Amino acid sequence: AVDVRKLYANTGGFTFDPGFTSTCSCESAITFIDGEKGQLLYRGYRADELAQKSNYMEVCYLLLNGELPTQSEYEEFTDAIRMHTMLNESLKRFFTGFHYDAHPMAMLSSIVSGLSAFYHDTTNTADPEHRKIFARRMIAKIPTIAAAAYKYSIGQPMIYPKNELDYSSNFLRMMFAVPAEEYEVDPVAAEALDVLLILHADHEQNASTSTVRLAGSTGCNPYAAISSGIAALWGPAHGGANEAVLKQLSAIGDVSNVDKFIAKAKDKNDPFRLMGFGHRVYKNFDPRATVIREHCHKVLKAYGGDTDGMLELAMKLEEIALKDEYFVERKLYPNVDFYSGIIYKAIGIPTNMFTPMFAIGRTVGWVAHYLEMISDPGMRIGRPRQIYTGATERPYTDIAGR
Ligand code: ACO
Beta bridge partners of residue 206, listed in sequence order: none
What percent of the chain lies above the pLDDT cut of 70?
96
CB 265 near ligand 1, within 6 Å: yes
Which of 279, 286, 306, 369 is catalytic? The answer is 279
Cα 160 to Cα 113: distance, rounded to the nearest angstrom:
21
pLDDT in tens, 228-260: 999 999 999 999 889 899 999 999 999 899 999
> Mean pLDDT throughout 91-119?
94
- Give pLDDT, residue 126: 76
CB 283 near ligand 1, within 6 Å: no
Q: DSSP characters for 289-322?
A: HHHHHHHHHHHHHHTTS-TTSHHHHHHHHHHHHH
CB 136 near ligand 1, within 6 Å: no
- Give pLDDT, residue 210: 98
- Give pLDDT, residue 306: 82
Sequence length of the chain is 402
CB 275 near ligand 1, within 6 Å: yes
Cα 390 to Cα 377: distance, rounded to the nearest angstrom:
37
- Highest mean pLDDT, choosing among 109-113, 123-127, 247-251, 271-275: 109-113
Task: Using CB atoms within 10 Å of the CB of residue 25, give its burial: 0 to 12 exposed, 13 to 18 middle, 19+ buried.
Answer: middle
Residue nearest to atom 11 of ligand 1 (CA): 330
Residue nearest to atom 28 of ligand 1 (CA): 280
State in Å: Cα 237 to ligand 1 middle: 8
State in Å: Cα 18 to ligand 1 middle: 15
Residue nearest to atom 3 of ligand 1 (CA): 273
pLDDT in tens, 329-374: 999 999 888 999 999 999 999 999 999 999 999 999 999 999 999 9
pLDDT class of 194 with cuts at 50, 70, 90: very high
CB 241 near ligand 1, within 6 Å: yes
Cα 77 to Cα 71: distance, rounded to the nearest angstrom:
10
Which secondary structure element, helix H or strand E, spans residue 41, and what is its range? strand 39-42
3-state SS class at 40: strand
- Highest mean pLDDT, choosing among 51-55, 116-120, 126-130, 293-297: 51-55
pLDDT class of 5 with cuts at 50, 70, 90: low
Cα 297 to Cα 312: distance, rounded to the nearest angstrom:
10
Give catalytic status of residue 369 as yes or no. no
- Give pLDDT, residue 91: 92
- Give pLDDT, residue 8: 62
> Mean pLDDT throughout 148-177?
96
- The pTM for the full model equals 0.92
First to last CA, the chain: 59
Residue nearest to atom 35 of ligand 1 (CA): 279
Cβ atoms of residues 355 and 240 within 8 Å: yes
Q: Is the pLDDT of residue 160 over 90?
A: yes
Task: Using CB atoms within 10 Å of the CB of residue 290, give its burial: 0 to 12 exposed, 13 to 18 middle, 19+ buried.
Answer: middle
Cβ atoms of residues 232 and 59 within 8 Å: no
Please give the DSSP secondary-structure letter assigned to residue 395.
Answer: -
Q: What is the rounded average pLDDT for all residues in the chain?
A: 92
> Mean pLDDT throughout 295-299?
90
Q: How big is the chain by its Cα radius of gyration, in Å?
A: 22
pLDDT class of 128 with cuts at 50, 70, 90: confident
> Mean pLDDT throughout 203-224?
96
Give catalytic status of residue 200 as yes or no. no
Q: Give the sign of the dihedral formed by CA 164, CA 350, CA 245, CA 365.
A: negative
Cα 270 to Cα 260: distance, rounded to the nearest angstrom:
13
- Give pLDDT, residue 15: 85
From 203, 211, 252, 332, give the residue whose CB has the most ligand 1 atoms within 8 Å, as the site to mutate: 332
CB 288 near ligand 1, within 6 Å: no
- ipTM computed for the complex: 0.95
> Mean pLDDT throughout 308-326?
89
Ligand 1 atom closest to the Cα of residue 276 is 44
CB 232 near ligand 1, within 6 Å: no
- Phi and psi at 343, nearest 5°, equal -70, -45
Which secondary structure element, helix H or strand E, spans residue 82, and what is its range? helix 71-83
Cα 143 to Cα 174: distance, rounded to the nearest angstrom:
8
